[in-house]
Amino acid sequence: MLEQFFRIRERGSTVPTELLAGLTTFLTMAYIAAVNPSIMEIAGMDRNAAFVATCLAAAYGSIAMGLLSNYPIALAPGMGLNAYFTFFVVKTMGYTWQVALGAVFLSGLIFILLSVLPVREKIINAIPRSLKMAIGAGIGMFLGIIALKGAGVVVAHPATFVTIGDLTKWAPILCGIGFVVIVALDRLEVTGSIIIGILAVTVLAMLVGQAQYGGIVSLPPSPAPVLFQLDIGGALKIGLISIVFAFLFVDLFDTAGTLVGVLHRAGLLDPDGKMPAAGLRNALLADSTATVVGAMVGTSTTTSYIESAAGIKAGGRTGLTAVVVGLLFLLTLFFAPLAASIPAHATAPALLFVACMMARSMVEIDWEDVTEYAPAVVTALAMPFTFSIAHGIALGFITYAAIKVASGRAREVHPVVGILAVLFVIKFAWI
């Protein structure tokens, strides 16, 4: 049955290989079950309920991707978007987490619409490659400053805005140790380096009295505090349009980039380096519905994970790999006490490492063309320094269009980019 449904032999794989690949992918992204609830808790959400929501969203998204598209790509609440959800939409702009969930839900509905209409490729292709790469790197920098701030490595300063914190305290020390462990294990190609680093720092924190042991296994907590708590009406306010757009925009291009990059490694692209139309449609549909489901169960945007490349490296070639990841996330529901025992300074090094990985996309920018790399750098820098993915995207689009026009290369500005740049100017000026 598995062979017929997933066409495993046709893609040069076997059932045992797909099962191992699923386990490998899960171990590389299992950290999200600890990191995402800690970020959602800062927004005011119940941590245990957010843990359940995280696992349910990841399980649904991964299984849907495997069954609908037959691709070995796993999904979970996205890093960067969860930080934007908490630190900008809730903490900075002052909206409730219920309204923020409503904005995520609306972005998912729009994503579903784009997934079934033939305009999705045109939208994706309209955005310059330099800005796409810069958005990924900027999100990484955004995560980086959040990690350093959370660990006490970076603190506020009235004159310089930021300065170095007290590095003799346990939080920055533990964060530094965790970061070194994660990077070293990754360099040694140890599967699950991030989750191993998180658990190692957690144990060390317990030994020095910086964390409390709460157990390992129990029945899953109640999801009631966050389940179906989204405020869609509140998210329809005019001031939230840019927020909904930011969730949609980042999810759309992050998913597209992840799909192309991961499937290229798996050899599942056509001779022209493109995804088959049917496969792309089903993959985007799985991703977009996962965002909607995730918002309903109580978590930020769910998206495709680049960590799926680890499973592909282990031989995964079909959707069975993704289904295995989804089932393992369901099993993770029974490890809530362990997740609750993990302190913030144990997840900070994981955030910092993910930031480093995401920053790599800057190398893909054309550094020989100033009209390409200058807007890209503005985009990437604006995200951490304005503490907003949306503002970074907006300033990037405005800068790109203005520089191209001013340098006599207006024809290189796609109409979609030009229109968005004008709308962003209007937003900053009057909204």
Q: Residue 345 — very low, low, confident or very high, per pLDDT cuts 50/70/90?
A: confident
In this prediction, residue 200 carries a pLDDT of 93
pLDDT tens string 173-191: 999 999 999 999 999 988 8
Closest CA to 243 of 86, 129, 349: 86
pLDDT of 334 > 90? The answer is yes
On the question of pLDDT at 124 being above 80, the answer is no
Q: Which domain holds residue 233?
A: 2-360
Give the tens place of pLDDT for each residue, 47-56: 999 999 999 9
CA distance 268 to 264: 6
Q: Is residue 124 part of a domain?
A: yes
Distance between CA atoms of residues 339 and 216, nearest Å = 8
Tell me whether residue 21 is in a domain: yes
Nearest CA-CA partner of 136 in 326, 360, 372, 349: 360
Is residue 392 in some structural domain? no
Q: What is the pLDDT of residues 50-84, one digit of tens each?
A: 999 999 999 999 999 999 999 999 999 998 889 99
The Cα–Cα gap between 324 and 330 comes to: 10
**Which pLDDT belongs to residue 207?**
94
pLDDT score of 268 more than 90 = no
Q: Is the pLDDT of residue 209 over 80?
A: yes
Each residue's pLDDT tens digit, 210-255: 988 888 899 999 999 999 999 999 999 877 888 898 898 888 877 8
Number of domains in the chain: 1
**Structure confidence by residue, pLDDT tens digits, 10-31:** 888 999 999 999 998 998 899 9
Residue 187, classified by CB atoms within 10 Å of its CB into exposed (0-12), middle (13-18) or buried (19+), is exposed
In a domain, 354, yes or no: yes
Asked if the structure places residue 227 within a domain, the reply is yes
Q: Is residue 419 part of a domain?
A: no
Q: What pLDDT is stored for residue 403 in this prediction? A: 97
User: What is 205-245 written as a DSSP string?
Assistant: HHHTTSS----S--SPPP-TTTTT---HHHHTSGGGHHHHH
In tens, the pLDDT along 279-314 reads: 788 998 999 999 999 999 999 999 999 888 888 888
Identity of the amino acid at 212? Q
273 pLDDT more than 70:
no
Mind listing the pLDDT tens digit for each residue in 85-122?
999 999 999 999 999 999 999 999 999 998 888 776 67
Residue 407 lies in a domain: no
Q: What is the mean pLDDT of residues 245-267?
A: 78
Q: Which residues face 164 on adjacent strands?
A: 154
Q: Is 32 left (phi over 0), alpha (psi -120 to 50) or beta?
A: alpha
Q: Please check whether residue 384 lies inside any domain of the structure.
A: no
| Mean pLDDT, residues 391-398 taken together | 90
